[in-house]
Every structure is written in C-alpha cells, then in structure tokens.
C-alpha cells in the first residue's frame, strides 16, 4: 500500500505537471511520478483523442518490470502495441470517454464489472494487456483542446481508493492549467514557425538581438550568411560588419534603437548597405526595434531585429502556385518566373529552348491573363504574389 503523499511530495507533483508543458517530450517527468503516486500499472495522457482519420497523440508510462535494474523511467514507445492498437482500432470501442469535465471517475462507476468482462473492448483490448481497473479525468482549455488522463491497474489489483480519487481531484485544476499553458505555447510556436517559414521563403535573413546587442536567434538564411562570413559575422555574440565605418554605423544604429526601447521612446528604422568581397552583390540591411512587453524589463528579451536581403539568392517562387493564381500554363508560369529572376525575354527563350516568337506569344498570353501590359509590371506582380510563400 502506497503511503499518503506528504506536502513536499504533493508540491513536487504539482511542479512536474506545470513543467510538463515546457518539456521537449511533454510530461515525460510528470507521468512516471503520477503513475507511482497512484500505484498504477499504466498512466496515459491523451493530448489529442484518436478518430477515424487521425491517430491522435497519446503519452504512456508503464510500471517498470521488477526484474529490470534500469531505474530510468521514461515514456513508453508510441509504437508499442497497447498504444498503437488503441489509436488505430480500439478507441472506437472505448466506453470510458466523454467524462464530465474536471470530475474524477472510475470505469466501474459507469460500467459494472460484469458488463465490462463481456464487452469487446475488454476481451480484445484490455484483457490481452492485462488491464481492468481504470481511473480517469477529462479536462479542456478555452481554445478547445481536450486532454484525458487515465490510470490503469490489472484485475488482480485493488480498486482505486477514495484517497487516490481525492488526490487526483486535487491535482485536476493544476492539470487543467498546465494543459492550457501547453496549448497556448503550442499555438504560439506554430504561429512563430509559420511566420519564420514565410520569411525564409522570401529569402530574407532575420537576426534578433537582446538589449545588450547579443544575438538571440536567427533563421536559416541568417545562419548561412553568418557562416559565410563575407561582410557579416558574429564577434562575441555581437553582429559585426567588415569595414570600420560601416560597422560603426551599425553599432550606433543598434545602440540608439535598443536605448530607445529600454526608455520607452520612439526610435527610427535604419537601413544600411553591406559591401561584400569577390564581386558579390551588396547586402541590404534594415535595423528596427522589436515591440517590447511591459513585463519584460530586466529580462533577456528581444530588443532589435535585423533583416538582411541578399540579391544573389534566387527567389523561391512556386511555379505551380503562380500558375494556379493567374491561370497560367506550366510554360507561361515558367517564363514569368524566369523574367522575375532578371532574365531578358531573349535569355528566357534560350534557357527554355524555344523561339523568341514562341516566348513573345507566351508573354502576350500572360499579359492578358494577369491584366498587366508591361514586363516590369509583370515582374513586380510575380515578386509581390504569394507564390513565393508556397
């Protein structure tokens, strides 16, 4: 029989629930501790319930084999049969779903043992994995995310006691808040990654600096530019431009913008040209402030953003998307893309191995479909279209 949790153990359990929302593998520390606290064979956290066209997300922690000397308790492999079979097939037979939100319920509360042992769910799923007793709670957050926490025991083990139900009841509000934090962070991360991906697709480097002018993050384009070290580099974590005068301009711009941010003053956006050796095109660089949270004072937080364009990078316009946007044929979309890349009509005809007469006919058709009448307007239309974000 497990001893009653003392105040310190209970506090640690609550801390692990909140920490789980921040872990690389969510709740990898909390689930083993929860399983042990309720003396369960298995604890499962369903972060996205399975459905006919979605296998969902289920985290499982199983009681370690007593014969094993491995003390590192981790989450079970999501491809283990008891998880994969449930996701793929048996979720539709599970009678222990759609519980009243925030209420701790045992399976026997809604399905007597005599009915459970004759059910397909027990005979084909629970019995093969030697599970019988189940205690659970469902919780949701304002954005609509539903999470299910389940504790399971074998038939030879005792029912979950009143004290264990009470413990789970006390933990449930904290689980709900942790799920809300997790869902909000997930949405913010997805939104951030979407915008970062769009900036990458536009072949624009972005470098975020803190209030000391040190680099916090950069995207793939920025990392590539810094790795090349041609005109732009990092020195002790600070952005540096080759050339004393131009670097002085950059440092002054950063200092002024960051100082203005720290004092809540308005600062101006600065633009610079960064020369590069070897006949390569100059980089275009823009420094602008990052809007600060009123609660971020005294923290290492983003203060300035540096955006850099490299004219030598090819655009990433998707020709199929361009074709779909303006009802262009594949040949027309290809021609429009090459023109936007800076080729002349004569160069396009050579590159495409077509006659200039054919190229001119395709261009005329493109003009008719896009509503422009000049090549410069077409180039601007292509470059400003969403095809580069596909």
> Are 213 and 338 members of one domain?
no
Whether 277 and 167 map to the same domain: the answer is no
Q: Are residues 183 and 124 in the same domain?
A: yes
**What's the confidence (pLDDT) of residue 316?**
66
Half-sphere exposure in the Cβ direction for 130 (13 Å, CA):
7
Mean pLDDT by 10-residue block, N- to C-terminus, for the chain (390 residues)?
Answer: 73 96 94 95 94 90 71 73 88 93 96 95 95 96 93 95 95 96 92 79 86 90 89 91 91 89 79 85 90 60 88 76 91 91 90 92 94 90 78
Separation in Å, CA 82 to CA 85, 86, 87, 123, 130:
6, 6, 9, 14, 10
**Angle, helices 7-20/30-37, rounded to nearest 10 degrees:** 140
Whether 245 and 361 share a structural domain: no
Domain annotation covers residue 352: yes
Task: Please give the tally of structural domains in the chain.
Answer: 3
On whether both 25 and 117 belong to a single domain, the answer is yes
* Any domain includes 145: yes
Closest to 4 in 3D by CA, of 38, 33, 34: 38
Asked if residue 265 is part of any domain, the answer here is yes
Decide: 202 and 389 in contact? Cβ < 8 Å: yes
Claim to verify: residue 57 and residue 151 sit in the same structural domain: yes
Placement of tokens 């809007």 in the chain: 291
Task: Tell me what pLDDT residue 299 has.
Answer: 56
Q: Is residue 76 domain-shared with residue 214, that is, in the same domain?
A: no
DSSP state of 40: -
Answer whether residue 1 is part of any domain: no
Domain span including residue 328: 319-389
In a domain, 378, yes or no: yes
Domain boundary among 309, 335, 352: 309
Predicted confidence at residue 199, as pLDDT, reads 76
266 shares its domain with 182: no
Q: Is residue 350 part of a domain?
A: yes
Are 276 and 140 in a shared domain? no
What pLDDT, on a 0 to 100 scale, did the predictor assign at position 1? 42
Please report the pLDDT score of residue 68 as a whole number.
Answer: 52
End residue of a domain, out of 128, 158, 190: 190
Whether residue 236 sits in one domain with residue 134: no
Residue 314 lies in a domain: no
pLDDT for residue 298 = 52
CATH of the domain at 78: 3.30.450.80
CATH of the domain at 288: 3.30.450.20
Residue 182 and residue 97 share a domain: yes
| Dihedral over Cα of 113, 118, 124, 130: its sign | positive
Residues 57 and 147 in one domain: yes
**What are the strands, taking DSSP E only, across the chain?**
42-48, 57-62, 105-106, 133-140, 146-153, 204-210, 215-218, 232-235, 238-241, 270-274, 283-289, 302-309
């Amino acid at each position: 029989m497990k001893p009653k949790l003392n105040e310190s153990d209970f506090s640690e359990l609550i801390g692990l629930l909140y920490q789980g929302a921040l872990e690389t593998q969510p709740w990898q520390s909390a689930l083993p501790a929860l399983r042990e606290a309720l003396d369960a064979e298995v604890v499962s956290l369903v972060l996205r319930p399975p459905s006919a066209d979605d296998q969902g997300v289920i985290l499982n922690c199983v009681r370690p084999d007593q014969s094993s000397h491995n003390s590192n308790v981790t989450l079970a492999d999501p491809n283990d049969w008891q998880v994969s079979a449930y996701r793929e097939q048996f979720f539709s037979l599970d009678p222990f779903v759609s519980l009243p939100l925030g209420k701790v319920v045992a399976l026997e509360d809604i399905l007597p043992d005599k009915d459970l042992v004759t059910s397909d769910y027990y005979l084909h799923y629970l019995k093969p994995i030697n599970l019988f007793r189940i205690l659970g709670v469902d919780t949701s957050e304002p954005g609509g995310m539903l999470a299910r926490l389940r504790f399971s025991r074998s038939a030879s083990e005792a029912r979950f006691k009143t004290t264990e139900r009470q413990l789970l009841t006390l933990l449930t509000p904290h689980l709900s808040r942790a799920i809300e934090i997790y869902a909000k962070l997930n949405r913010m991360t997805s939104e951030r990654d979407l915008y970062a991906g769009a900036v990458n697709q536009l072949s624009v480097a972005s470098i975020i600096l803190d209030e000391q002018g040190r680099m916090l993050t950069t995207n793939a384009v920025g990392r590539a530019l810094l790795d090349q070290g041609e005109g732009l580099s990092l020195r002790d974590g600070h952005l540096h431009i080759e050339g004393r005068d131009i670097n002085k301009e950059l440092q002054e711009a950063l200092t002024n913008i960051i100082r203005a941010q720290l004092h809540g003053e308005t600062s101006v956006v600065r633009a610079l040209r960064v020369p590069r050796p070897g006949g390569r095109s100059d980089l275009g660089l823009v420094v602008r402030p990052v809007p600060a949270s009123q609660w971020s004072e005294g923290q290492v937080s983003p203060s300035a953003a540096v955006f850099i364009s490299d004219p030598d990078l090819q655009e990433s316009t998707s020709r199929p998307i361009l074709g779909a946007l303006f009802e262009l044929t594949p040949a027309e979309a290809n021609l429009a893309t090459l023109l936007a890349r800076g080729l002349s009509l004569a160069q396009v005809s050579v590159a495409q191995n077509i006659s200039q007469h054919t190229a001119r006919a395709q261009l005329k058709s493109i003009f008719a479909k896009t509503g422009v009448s000049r090549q410069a307007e077409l180039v601007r239309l292509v470059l400003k279209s969403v095809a580069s974000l596909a």
